[in-house]
Amino acid sequence: PEWRGAGPSASASEGLPSRAYLERFPPAWLTAFGRTPAGAGELAGLIARVRATCAELGVPPPAAAVDLEQGAGLHFRGAPRLPPALALASAALAAEREELDWIWAAGELTAREARAAGAELVLAPVADVNTQRDNPIIATRSFGDRPDAAGARALALSMGLRAGGAGSCAKHFPGHGDTVRDSHVELPSVPADPSSLRARELVPFRRLVEHGVDCVMIGHLDVPALTGERGLPSTLSRAVIEGTLRGELGFRGTVVSDAMNMGALERFAPRYARALAAGCDVLLCPHDPQVA
């Protein structure tokens, strides 16, 4: 379940899990949003309040996961805000700095700031290879359009996060870079054949898995070359999660779904049971936690 500071686009007012919900279904994790139209909000205080409520109820306090692709300042007031991934890499090159050292440092700084604010898991790096120039949702969030370079940069950020004391989450498996649709709104299609996927989309994820990334986020993507079924989201596909990610790539960490309240899953029911059956360990942002 999610908690939101007042002002994000999805919520005009503060949104916290109810006391009754926390008592009946104490979650191991919560995902937090502090980004508002005016900038980062007071998210650290909300995290502390939820944990204080759990302490009063005598249930274990949840860990916090936050989307900090552009540094802790994306959601936490007073923390540094960094450029998006592609700009970060470009800035390093333009300044004639060691590119991967620069990106590692960004990850380490993000982790230190996140932990100080109360978050243990950073929902980054983006490991998508952005080969589609009309991509409406990944674009500069990706580390580039070359698989090896994108993989090396994503790994540098992940290792920096680890050095700073936070977990990392590679996303959006098996790759959201070659799409012209936004999965927040509808189910995007990835038309590549199996050999193209392995030579391009899977390269950064394979590298991150080999170096022990903590979590991998499954994207809501129609990838028939892997699912074997046109129109089936990867999040609901055992072939993608257990077959490709765990079987072929050998991932042994935690599998996290992308937000379960996104438009790509709107017509798929029962979405929560199907995602668990497919192999997801954590279901992110249910549209209604009580129903979920």
Show the 3-state SS of 139-161: HHHCCCCCHHHHHHHHHHHHHHH
The answer to whether residue 277 scores a pLDDT higher than 70 is yes
Q: Which residue type occupies 203?
A: V
Residue 9 has pLDDT above 90, yes or no: no
Report the C-alpha dihedral over residues 63, 68, 69, 70, rounded to 10 degrees: -160
Euclidean distance between CA atoms 125 and 155, whole angstroms: 8
Give me the residue label for tokens 């991150």: 208
Model pLDDT, residue 155: 97
Distance between CA atoms of 107 and 1, rounded to whole angstroms?
Answer: 25
pLDDT of the residue at 42: 86
pLDDT band at 13 (very low <50, low <70, confident <90, very high): low
Q: Quick check: helix, strand or coil at residue 112?
A: helix
Mean pLDDT of the chain: 94
- Confidence tier at 149 by pLDDT (50, 70, 90): very high
pLDDT average, residue stretch 234-246? 98
Average the pLDDT over 76-104 and give the result: 87
**pLDDT value for 99:** 81
pLDDT category at 248 given cuts 50, 70, 90 is: very high
Q: How far apart are CA 92 and CA 95, in angstroms?
A: 5
What is residue 233's DSSP assignment?
B
pLDDT band at 148 (very low <50, low <70, confident <90, very high): very high
Q: Please state the rounded mean pLDDT for residues 18-46.
A: 90
Is the pLDDT assigned to residue 8 strictly greater than 60? Answer: no
> So what's the pLDDT on residue 16?
81
Active site (catalytic) residues:
184, 258
pLDDT digits (tens, 9 = 90+) for 89-101: 888 777 666 789 9
Write out pLDDT tens, residues 209-231: 999 999 999 999 999 999 999 99
Query: Helix 43-57 to helix 99-117 angle, to the nearest 10 degrees?
Result: 50
Note the pLDDT of residue 259.
96
Distance CA 133, CA 266 (A): 26
For range 123-142, the mean pLDDT: 96
Residue 241 in this model has a pLDDT that exceeds 60: yes
Taking alpha carbons only, the member of 63, 69, 73, 74 closest to residue 1 is 63
Distance CA 216, CA 198 (A): 17
Greater confidence, 18 or 166? 166
Distance CA 200, CA 239 (A): 19
